[in-house]
Amino acid sequence: MSTFTDLTYTSSDALGLYARDYHSLGGPARLPVICIHGLTRNSADFDELAPWIASRGRRVLAVDVRGRGRSARDPDPGHYNAATYVGDMVKLARDLGIARAVFVGTSMGGIITMNLALRHLGLVAAAILNDVGPVLSRRGLARIAGYAGKHAQLRSWEEATDYIMSINQGAFPANSMEEWSKWARRAFIENEQGQLVLRYDHKVAPPQEPGKFKPTSWATRMGFRVLTRRRPTLLVRGALSDLVEQEQAVHMLRAAPAMQYVEVPGVGHAPMLTEPTARHALARFLEQVD
């Protein structure tokens, strides 16, 4: 399996950003893949998916969106928005000489991808939207608002594992303790005081700000329309998802009949894309994209 190298770059507003760079294991040159994580997550969420894609002959970049992982925290929290994130993706691509790429967007990453399609369609060759769409369920948004941006400082990996399990168990009822422990290592880091802290700036989603989590926006709806009409698109949905429920999925499929669709059984928001059903759909989809 491919291993990654650390890649750092600078945003247009001089913020230091980070990505994992998984190099293709050879074969004919194919379009690279850029993976974008969810609201409070980071590039480590793709530590199994990215090398799998690289083994199939594609370079993969798994980014840390500003304020997450090893990317710098923004001194102005007002910059934590889709338009800014789109600019960061464009800067990364330009710095690396990437003219076109396949985008994999989980949750917030999918919102970024739809906004990217609206503003810079030429960069998007194809897209995989992982449990996200132009209109989201208020039930799932309320659940995310219940923990996002809250300070979690713990003193042991056991506590960190229990915390991660407590906010995700409903979506992944079959996960083992070993899997929850792996998730905790992705989500937390030990600080100088020996505390385990989450790997994101709590200001990315201030819990005290009313209406922060909106179920839709004009830009996302238009971006979805442009993306699905002009680029190959695959929607992956967790069968237990509370963010893209059956109602939202049906709406998306009616609005975009050419869009490919797969439902991953036994998981909610958002599939890790390592599940056999998801892997099969991704493999088939990527084979259609040069």
Spell out the domains of the chain, with CATH numbers in brackets: 4-138+215-287 (3.40.50.1820)
**Rounded-to-integer distance, Cα 110 and Cα 114, Å:** 6
Query: Whose structure tokens read 């291993």?
Result: 3
For 40-64, write each residue's pLDDT tens digit: 999 999 999 999 999 999 999 999 9
Nearest to 275 by CA among 284, 288, 266: 266
**Rounded-to-integer distance, Cα 199 and Cα 110, Å:** 20
pLDDT at 209: 54
Confidence band, pLDDT 50/70/90 cuts, at residue 207: low
Nearest to 61 by CA among 26, 14, 24, 108: 24
H or E segment and range at residue 87:
helix 82-96
In this structure, are residues 93 and 17 in contact, taking their beta carbons and an 8 Å threshold? no
Report helix, strand or coil for 231.
Answer: coil
pLDDT at 150: 84
pLDDT at 49: 98
Q: What is the mean pLDDT of residues 6-34?
A: 94
**Rounded-to-integer distance, Cα 218 and Cα 67, Å:** 25
Mean pLDDT of the chain: 95
For 227-250, write each residue's pLDDT tens digit: 999 999 999 999 999 999 999 999
| Assigned token pair, 71 | 């990317």
Query: Whose structure tokens read 């995700």?
Result: 168
For 15-26, write each residue's pLDDT tens digit: 999 999 999 987
**Of the candidate ranges 10-19, 144-153, 168-177, 219-228, the one whose mean pLDDT is the lowest:** 144-153
For 145-161, write each residue's pLDDT tens digit: 989 988 777 889 999 99
Report helix, strand or coil for 33.
Answer: strand
User: What is the bridge-based pairing of β-strands 4-10 and 233-238?
Assistant: unpaired
For 78-110, write each residue's pLDDT tens digit: 999 999 999 999 999 999 999 999 999 999 999
**Residues 31, 39, 270: CA angle, nearest 5 degrees:** 70
pTM above 0.85, yes or no: yes
At 105, which amino acid appears?
G
